[in-house]
Structure 1
Amino acid sequence: MQSLNLQYNPRIDQLRWLAATIVFLFHFHLEYRGLGGTPLVSNWAALITEGHTGVGLFFTLSGFLFMQIALAQKTIVYRDFVRNRVLRIVPLFLTIFLVATSIGRDNFQPQDILYLFATNLGHAPTSGTVITGAAWTISLEFLFYLVFPFLARFALERGKRYLLELLALMAFFKLAAYTVNDNSTLMYFCTFVGRFDQFLIGMLAAMLYQQYQPALQRLAPWLLMVAAALVVWDTAAMHRLAPFGATPKSSFWIFWSMAESTGWALFIVAWVGFRPRLPGPVERVLCHGGKVSFSFYLLHMGLLHLLAQRVGLVHPTGRGWLDAAIMVAVSYGATWALATLSYNSIEEPFLRMRRRYGAQRGAAAAELESIRTSSRD
């Protein structure tokens, strides 16, 4: 997806595609297992069975991308930044929220409208049905957007040490919260305490990438292998020690998000710095996947659940693994088409209303104000 404030980098869209695909496979596996299909049990398949790690990639990537913009523009105009973020996420997010409130109309209370700002907390309407359940991340992401211009300004003024200090504070909050929350796994999974450090780690990765870019580009092929191994190891450790949904409280989750985000931050840095280009057709397909990843993410659970309810397990070949692969391919293709439709009809018209929010925008505004003042004088 093109940004008005930073030169387009197809690697970012490819990472968005990867994050959305991992989350898709995670939810496909849940639906497949619920229908009686043979589940994956190996620790080394945890990139799928613990595929919620794709959300960690999304949060880390957001911090990385926005800090790259801040480093390039030097100044973020808060009003225009927030305006762009509203145009980016609210149209589709509001649509999903209205679908959720329509489904749960009989239990809806007027105050539930406030869950627009906190879909990750309590009994939000979007969490009442599986088809809109993925929306919990959006309120949390928007919270990060609201504070980012301040974080960027302070990080530019004080350097990487400022972000490290915030990470130390987050570690303290995690430790303290663990002692008083009986469902700490869910707390770490979907709240500020559990996820804000991932956004900060993404910002820190952007600052390190800018400082050491030539060296990181040279080492990118090796770093990519190390990062992939680290991500696989982290999800395997989670699957073995404290799988999500099976352990309401485990000390593993105290520092899980930091470990997860560190692996993804290294992967982001390595992939962005990786010089060889993918074959043209492959790159175009993956970049399109990144462009429609927001729609793909918010709609995939609904489509997977619909297919599970109306079609169920299919056995076109009689071979379990091949039948599962066919089901993955068909449901993935259907979600891709639905996401493209959603992007074209809901997202893209509003995206064309965005404008610059960096230093260039600020300079232009200042120049215009100067002209207006001169004309009044």
Structure 2
Amino acid sequence: MLAQVSISQVTRPLMKSLNIAYNPRIDQLRWLAATIVFLFHFNIEYRSLGGNGIGSKWLGLLSEGHTGVGLFFTLSGFLFMQIALHKETIVYGDFLRNRLLRIAPLFLTIFMVATSIGRDKFQPQDILYIFTSNLGMAPTSLTVITGAAWCISLEFTFYLIFPFLARFAMERGPRYLVKLLLLMLFFKVASYTVSDKGTLMFFSTFVGRFDQFLVGMLAAMLYRQRSASLHRASPFLVPLAAVLVVANSAMQATVAPFDPAQAKSLFWIFWSTLESVGWAIFIVAWVSFDKGLPVWLEKVLCHGGKVSFSFYLLHMAMLHLLAQSVGMLQIPGLGVGNAVLMLVGSYAATWALATISYSTIEEPFLRMRRAYGAIKPPTLVEAK
């Protein structure tokens, strides 16, 4: 019999899932995260071709666009905690089965591409990097076209322990997650004192990223408690949350911009928590926002969210391929329009590629998912 993780208390959050109702706002947030990361890497590729990079610190959301990964991590914690709040029982085996069906087909495809590229350097033990794509000399990190896959192993680590964390959080309340965040802060400070490459450690490992999952979970619990008032205040909360996210990125661009070569900075001890708190506020505000967008825009953004996983994992390959084959556009008299054309063209090409990838690699496996949670029937004692 499959192990079950009991979850108490029930609510009805929104999400596209077999386990909870669909909320288009979630797909729109996925689209936003993937787009921010795309713009970040486009800026890097454009500069490598000789173009002018982003100068203003207030555009840190783009120059520090790796923050889109922080949004992905925070959103994962938020979504899964919403499901936990909706279910009383999660079947652990079915939960992991769904997660594998969601990420494994495309991730393994990218992993095989990476090992094919590096075939002459491949060692049998490198196959273990499937489970640790963010550590050491992972095959996916040795080439730019598969480099985005580094965060998948962190995501899966969260999947492995999430049902238990959700159960404990439901039993003990939000304070349980706050205590975990305090422990993570302690581990960050302690790790900083002995790490020679603190910036890269905080950027790409459990120590630097796990708090973002926890912040997302905590945001889901607080959203459940204050849902009605948040929906009423959402027209004001959305712009305020957007300003907070922009200010967060501007602060990082000013104080400690991401540079893998930068050994250490005290700012990075607190960076991921600050980043995820900003995104958590934005997630809660946007999910609470009831006013509809134009129908065509809703469809476009929701499609972007649907294909966001393919978009994220494939965008660096497309950007690099276009840079190598097309290079810098230099249409006379167009000026900055050359950069705009490059941006729009590369984004459209990546969108088309992601749509093909989703329909051929992801979607067939997604149809094999099944519900992994069910409301537990009352016992005879409870029925009385």
* Alpha-carbon distance in 1 for matches of 2:184, 2:368: 36
* Alpha-carbon distance in 1 for matches of 2:166, 2:88: 9
Deviations 1:213-253 (A, max 9, x none): 01111111222122111111111111111111163210010
Deviations 1:296-333 (A, max 9, x none): 00000000000001111002353432211111100000
Superposed CA RMSD? 1.2
* TM-aligned CA distance change 1:317 to 1:214, over 3 Å: farther
* Alpha-carbon distance in 2 for matches of 1:66, 1:2: 11
- Residue type of the partner of 1:132? T
Which residue in 1 is equivalent to 2:108? 94
Deviations 1:75-96 (A, max 9, x none): 2111000000000000000000
* Alpha-carbon distance in 2 for matches of 1:156, 1:349: 34
Which residue in 2 is equivalent to 1:168? 182
Deviations 1:94-144 (A, max 9, x none): 000000000000100000000000000010000000000000010100000
Which residue in 1 is equivalent to 2:338? 323
* Alpha-carbon distance in 2 for matches of 1:199, 1:318: 48
Indicate yes or no: 2:204 matched with 1:206.
no
* Alpha-carbon distance in 2 for matches of 1:151, 1:201: 12
Indicate yes or no: 2:369 matched with 1:354.
yes
Which residue in 2 is equivalent to 1:302? 317
CA contact (8 A) 1:15 1:290 kept: yes
* Alpha-carbon distance in 1 for matches of 2:333, 2:83: 51
Specify the SS of the correspondent of 2:194: coil
* Alpha-carbon distance in 1 for matches of 2:79, 2:88: 14
Which residue in 2 is equivalent to 1:185? 199
What's the TM-score once normalised by structure 1's chain length? 0.95
Which residue in 1 is equivalent to 2:10? none
Which of 278, 288, 309 is the aligned partner of 1:273? Answer: 288
Q: How does 1:97-108 map to 2 (within 5 A)?
A: 97-108=111-122
Which residue in 2 is equivalent to 1:242? 256
- Residue type of the partner of 2:335? G
- Residue type of the partner of 1:345? T
- Residue type of the partner of 1:279? P
Shift of 1:2: 3.2
CA contact (8 A) 1:242 1:252 kept: yes
Indicate yes or no: 2:274 matched with 1:259.
yes
Give the count of matched residue pairs.
363
Which residue in 2 is equivalent to 1:224? 238
Which residue in 1 is equivalent to 2:123? 109
Which residue in 2 is equivalent to 1:27? 41
* Alpha-carbon distance in 1 for matches of 2:149, 2:207: 18
CA contact (8 A) 1:20 1:54 kept: yes
* Alpha-carbon distance in 2 for matches of 1:213, 1:316: 52
* Alpha-carbon distance in 2 for matches of 1:2, 1:344: 17
CA contact (8 A) 1:317 1:323 kept: no
Deviations 1:245-295 (A, max 9, x none): 163210010000000000000000000000101110100000000000000
Specify the SS of the correspondent of 1:76: strand
Q: Which runs of 5+ in 2 are unaligned?
A: 1-14, 380-384
* Alpha-carbon distance in 2 for matches of 1:235, 1:263: 10
* Alpha-carbon distance in 1 for matches of 2:48, 2:263: 21
Which of 72, 79, 99 is the aligned partner of 2:86? Answer: 72
Q: Percent identity?
A: 70
CA contact (8 A) 1:75 1:153 kept: no
Comparing 223-232 with 149-158, greater Cα deviation is found at 223-232
* Alpha-carbon distance in 2 for matches of 1:209, 1:44: 29
* TM-aligned CA distance change 1:317 to 1:271, over 3 Å: farther
- Residue type of the partner of 1:147? I
Which of 282, 306, 317 is the aligned partner of 1:291? Answer: 306
Q: Which runs of 5+ in 1 are unaligned?
A: 367-377
* Alpha-carbon distance in 2 for matches of 1:99, 1:278: 39
Of Structure 1 and Structure 2, the greater helix share is in 1
CA contact (8 A) 1:29 1:49 kept: yes
* Alpha-carbon distance in 2 for matches of 1:112, 1:86: 20
Shift of 1:198: 0.2
Shift of 1:160: 0.2
* Alpha-carbon distance in 1 for matches of 2:88, 2:74: 21
Deviations 1:201-222 (A, max 9, x none): 0000000000000111111122
- Residue type of the partner of 1:122? G
What's the TM-score once normalised by structure 2's chain length? 0.93
